[in-house]
Copies of this chain bind each other. A is one copy, B any other.
Amino acid sequence: MKLDQFENDGIVVDKALGFWLNRVYQRLRTDMYRAFAERGEDVTPEQWMVLIRLWEREGLTQSELSDLTLRDAPTMSRIVQGMEERGLLERRKSPEDARVRTVFLTKTGHALRKKLVPVARMLVERAVRGIPERDLRTFRSVLERMFENLEP
């Protein structure tokens, strides 16, 4: 199908930023999920984001994880619940504040680091293959600027 084929009051669909962002984001996400699954690890990209944060620092609260990953509280609640059921982490009631649940990795959760980090790195390398470093810097700066431009 030829690109630039659909025009709607000036919105050329196949050139629309949202269209391409969705396209690339979705495919990147699916690739990552499949790559993990192929290695026998049923870890979603969203769980991966949580793992990365916890490898760096354990004992984060759910709301800290929400902020760091830009998910709302209900979503984070369910993600960590799923990860707990899978044995990747455990939640402990904070002794200082009974409302808070702090999150700690299990042995399994820690072990995934060695296994999955190279896979993720390989995916990124493949995604950016052949793209000049200069263009990637521009790409990133445009993303950051777009993010600032959007709703707070």
Q: How far is the CB of A142 from chain B (nearest CB, A)?
A: 4
Using CB atoms, name the residue of chain B closest to A19.
Answer: B49
A99 within 8 A of B: no
Q: For A45, what are the chain B residues with a Cβ–Cβ distance below 8 Å?
A: 18
Q: How far is the CB of A32 from chain B (nearest CB, A)?
A: 7
CA separation between A119 and B19, bound complex, in Å? 16
Q: For A21, what are the chain B residues with a Cβ–Cβ distance below 8 Å?
A: 21, 24-25, 28, 143
What copy number does this chain have within its complex? 2
Could you mark each residue 131-152 of chain A with 1 if its beta carbon is under 8 Å from any beta carbon of chain B, else 0? 1000110111111111101110
Q: For A70, what are the chain B residues with a Cβ–Cβ distance below 8 Å?
A: 22-23, 26-27
CA separation between A144 and B130, bound complex, in Å? 12
Using CB atoms, name the residue of chain B closest to A35.
Answer: B151
CA separation between A127 and B23, bound complex, in Å? 18
Q: How far is the CB of A138 from chain B (nearest CB, A)?
A: 5
A8:B126 contact, CB within 8 angstroms: no
Q: For A121, what are the chain B residues with a Cβ–Cβ distance below 8 Å?
A: 9-11
